[in-house]
Amino acid sequence: MSSPDERANYAPPTSAAMATAQNEDGGLRLLLAQRRLYAVAKRWALLRSIGFSVVAVGAPIITAVWPKASVGVGAFAGVWIFLSRGAFVAAERYYSGRGAVVQEMFDLKIYGMPQLALREPHVSPEEVSRLVGDDQRFARAIDKEDLRNWYPIDKDLDGAVTIAIAQRANAAYADRLLRSSAFIWLSLAALWTAIAVVVSLLLHFSLETFLLGVAFPLMPALLDVFDQWRSTRRAGAERRALAQGIEEGIKHQDGKTWTAQDLLVWQEQLYNLRRDAPQIPNLVYRRTRKKNERDMNAAASELAAIAKAEAAALGHGQMGGS
C-alpha cells in the first residue's frame, strides 16, 4: 500500500511510456489473466440463467404433462433460487472480484500509480502465471483475444490527460455494455412471462394448476431477473456519471479544474465499480465489441483534440497538474 507522500507526489508517466507499457508482456499477462478470471465468473452467471430459463419455460410444460408434479416444480424453483442467490452468486462475485483486482494491477502498472489500498481477494504472481499458461499459449491467446493497445493513447498528449481519457473510455465502454445487458435481462423476463401465460392458456390450466405449477415457480425466476436488470442499470448509470465527470474536466481544463490527484480518486472509483458490477454475458460483449471500440476510439480522439486545443490556448503543453 502506498504512503501519503507517494500519493501526494504522484506524477503520471508520459503518454509514450504508457503506450509502450500496455503492450509489454508484463501488462499483457495481467490483461489475459483478468479475462480468464472474468470468464469463470461469467460461467457461474450463465449457470444461474440456464437454471431460471429451464424453470420458466419448463414449468408449464411439465405441469401440463404431469399435473401432480406442480408442487414438485414449485419446490425445485425454490431450491434453485436459494442456490442461485447463495452459492452461485458467491462464486460469481469471488471470481469477478479477483478479475477486478488483476485489472487494477494492470491499470496501476500502465499509469505508474501507487496502490491506494490493499485489494482483496489477493491475486498472487503465481496465480497470474497459472492463468496465463506457458509462453506459447500466452502468445496465441494475446492474438486471439486482441489485447494489444487496450487503451486509446495519443503519444503527443500530456500523461495526465491521457490517463483521464483512458479512465473515461473505460467507464463509458462499460456503461454501453451494461445498458445492452440490462435490455437483454428485461427482454428475457418479458419473454419468459409471455411463454408461461400463453402455454397455460392454450392448455386450459385451472387456476390452482396455474398458480402451483406456473406462477409460483416463475416468480422467483422473475424476481432474480428483475434484480439483475436493476443492478445492471444502476451499475451503468454509475459508470456513465463517472465518465461524464471526467469528460467535463477534460473539456474545460483551465489548470485548476482537476489535478493528478484526481486521477487517483477516479481510479479508486473505477475499481469499486468493477468489483461490484454484474457480469456482462459473452454474447453481448462479442457482438458489440467492434462497434463499441470504434466509438470509444472516436470519442478518445475527439477529447484528445479538445485537450490539445485547451493546452494551446493556455500557452503550455502541461495539463491536469502534471
- Write down the domain spans for the chain: 4-314
Percent of the chain with pLDDT over 70: 83
C-alpha count within 13 angstroms, C-beta hemisphere, residue 129 = 3
Evaluate if residue 60 carries a pLDDT over 70: no
Q: Are 300 and 152 in contact (CB under 8 A)?
A: yes
Evaluate if residue 257 carries a pLDDT over 90: no
Entry pTM: 0.82
Percent of the chain with pLDDT over 90: 32
Express each pLDDT in 179-223 by its tens digit: 888 887 778 778 777 877 787 777 777 777 677 666 766 776 677
Evaluate if residue 53 carries a pLDDT over 80: no
**Alpha-carbon distance 217 to 39, whole Å?**
29
What's the mean per-residue pLDDT of the chain? Answer: 82
Place of cell 503519444: 155
Calculate the alpha carbon distances from 122 to 29, 64, 127 in Å.
17, 50, 10
Q: Are 37 and 102 in contact (CB under 8 A)?
A: yes
Express each pLDDT in 102-160 by its tens digit: 999 999 999 999 887 778 788 899 999 999 988 888 999 999 988 999 999 999 999 99
Express each pLDDT in 61-104 by its tens digit: 676 667 676 667 667 767 777 777 778 888 988 999 999 999 99
